[in-house]
Amino acid sequence: MRLTKDWHTVVPHVMPVTRAPVKRVVTTRSTSLAPRVVILGGGFAGVSTAHELARRCAGVLPVHITLISDQNFYLFTPLLAEATTGAVEAHHVIYPIRPLLCAKLGVEFGEMTVEAIDLERRRVTACHRRSPGHQEIPYDMLVLALGVAPDTTTAPGVEEYALGFKAVGDAYRVRNHVIDQFEAAALTDDPMERRRLLTFVVVGAGHAGTELVAALEELTRGILLRHYSAIPRSAVRLVLVSTAVLPQTATRLAAYAKKELLKRGIHFLPARAAKVSPEGLTLQDGRLIASGSVIWTAGTRVSPLVANLPVRKTKDGRVKVNGYFEVEEFPGVYALGDNAAQVNPHTGGTYVATAQVAVRQGRALAAVIESELTGRPKRSFAIREHAEMVPLSRHTAVADLLGLKLGGVPAWVMWKIVYMFKLPTLAARLRAVFDWTVEMFFQRDVSELVVGGRRNV
């Protein structure tokens, strides 16, 4: 069915809005009367929705797609731990959004921070950090894909004394910090101080924490130690603090991952963290782990922008959506990815917050929006979360592929192949393969990255 200019006559499910020609939408002047789909968040969920929607509508449906995100790239988080060890260049785990979506597919992109969402007036307020003014962006359809941020409020001292592990800058920060600790440890004769400097504590054992602690073990004992002859191997200590390893993952896979970490001499403390201080991490039972390096990956929180919306939400602030990603109180508003809670009809629970779920949701949401615009029947989202992979560095991973459980090198090879194909462009794949090949035959770089004369820590 082709759309007429007055597209609301053929789109029964979307509430009409009074429309005046738009003075300015993000970066281009637009007087288009095509329906405006505004997508908030340039992560896995937002980018895959925009990409698939633009692909489906190209040349067939007049749709104005705008993606707003506070960074002009998207981060491939499954490779972040590898960027920390130097197995891949940190630059090779981020992908600019414009070449991916704008030139080829005609998506409008604005590098802006969303400041307010007004669901009644159907408007989003956003601004670029260098621009003085705020921009009001009207929409006909809104997609909430703002993800989650680390929750630094769960224990005192996290904000001040712990490092995070979520953004590409964190890979640099953690890496520089670890190298710096080694440099300081090499200069001290005090064994207690050296032990404190070389004790690395990771709090939280979800995907991020488990992948990170394994990567740190490789970075410290596998790479750095050989350059610091004054430091004995026994001085380096890695501690993972969490109530369980990979709590959201299938039990056998989680058990395998835990066994692998223990085999490598990583201490696992099934405990809750109470406080971070310059002395280290205090546990709820009062024990102190003396350390100059606490990396916090436990707990996430939905952006207050989303958590404060007048819609149905879970206790942790995620927006409840139905099988079509619809926020039922506000027709034309959708949510997906980490900031949404959608029930998986196969399990009765909500989908796990992973990149692969977010990408599949994005593609499915694009199909739902296309159906909305054309009046065709929509398909409800229902997938089985069969495949899961967790890289554990040192050429090891754990994987569950359609019930087939793999560990060690076979899982690692499988992980590399699968993730290589998940990278967005041919150039990105070639860069990753090149990095992986080089790291197999040559020593890794152990220099600290100093930016603008100051250490980037």
Ligand X SMILES: Cc1cc2nc3c(=O)[nH]c(=O)nc-3n(C[C@H](O)[C@H](O)[C@H](O)COP(=O)(O)OP(=O)(O)OC[C@H]3O[C@@H](n4cnc5c(N)ncnc54)[C@H](O)[C@@H]3O)c2cc1C
Give the residues lining the site for ligand X (CB under 6 A): 41-46, 68-71, 74, 77-78, 80, 113-114, 145-147, 165-166, 207-208, 211, 303, 305, 337-338, 353-356, 358
CA–centroid distance for 191 within its chain: 38
Our CB check for ligand X shows the closer of 176 and 297 to be: 297
Residue 455 · residue 176 · CB < 8 Å = yes
How many alpha carbons lie under 13 Å from residue 111 in its C-beta half-sphere?
Answer: 10
Our CB check for ligand X shows the closer of 185 and 355 to be: 355
Our CB check for ligand X shows the closer of 78 and 86 to be: 78
- Minimal CA–CA distance to 220: which of 86, 76, 88, 89? 86
Q: How far is the CB of 149 from ligand X (least distance, A)?
A: 7
Structure tokens at 33: 């009367």
226: buried, middle or exposed (CB in 10 Å: 19+, 13-18, 0-12)?
Answer: exposed
The residue count of the chain comes to 457
Q: How far is the CB of 219 from ligand X (least distance, A)?
A: 15
Q: How far is the CB of 408 from ligand X (least distance, A)?
A: 17
Give the SS3 label for residue 141.
strand
Q: How far is CA 32 from CA 5, 13, 307, in A?
A: 10, 21, 32
**Sign of the C-alpha dihedral, residues 12, 16, 22, 26?**
negative
Q: How far is the CB of 272 from ligand X (least distance, A)?
A: 20
Q: Distance (Å, rounded) from C-alpha 109 to C-alpha 119?
A: 21
Q: How far is the CB of 152 from ligand X (least distance, A)?
A: 14
Our CB check for ligand X shows the closer of 42 and 332 to be: 42
Q: How far is the CB of 7 from ligand X (least distance, A)?
A: 27
Residue closest to ligand X when measured from CB atoms? 43
> What angle in degrees, to the nearest 10, is found between the helix axes of 408-422 and 426-441?
150
- Minimal CA–CA distance to 47: which of 121, 100, 123, 5? 100
Our CB check for ligand X shows the closer of 141 and 365 to be: 365
Our CB check for ligand X shows the closer of 140 and 211 to be: 211
Q: How far is the CB of 111 from ligand X (least distance, A)?
A: 9
Q: How far is the CB of 139 from ligand X (least distance, A)?
A: 15
Our CB check for ligand X shows the closer of 109 and 165 to be: 165
Our CB check for ligand X shows the closer of 291 and 342 to be: 342
Pairing of strands 333-335, 108-111: unpaired
Which residues, in sequence order, are CB contacts of 410 under 8 Å at separation 6+?
none
Our CB check for ligand X shows the closer of 70 and 279 to be: 70
Q: How far is the CB of 386 from ligand X (least distance, A)?
A: 13
Structure tokens at 348: 């009765």
Our CB check for ligand X shows the closer of 97 and 239 to be: 97
Residue 382 · residue 344 · CB < 8 Å = yes
Which residues, in sequence order, are CB contacts of 91 under 8 Å at separation 6+?
none
Q: How far is the CB of 69 from ligand X (least distance, A)?
A: 4
Q: Distance (Å, rounded) from C-alpha 233 to C-alpha 240?
A: 18
Q: How far is the CB of 91 from ligand X (least distance, A)?
A: 17
According to DSSP, residue 350 is labeled B
Q: Distance (Å, rounded) from C-alpha 292 to C-alpha 279?
A: 7
Residue 75 · residue 168 · CB < 8 Å = yes
Our CB check for ligand X shows the closer of 185 and 209 to be: 209
From its phi and psi, is residue 67 left (phi > 0), alpha (psi between -120 and 50) or beta? beta
Our CB check for ligand X shows the closer of 61 and 357 to be: 357
Q: Go through 111-149 and write b for each residue having 16 or more CB atoms within 10 A of its CB, e for each that does not.
A: bbebeebebeebbbebebeeeeeebbbbbbbbbbbbbbe
Q: Distance (Å, rounded) from C-alpha 292 to C-alpha 212?
A: 17
Q: How far is the CB of 233 from ligand X (least distance, A)?
A: 27
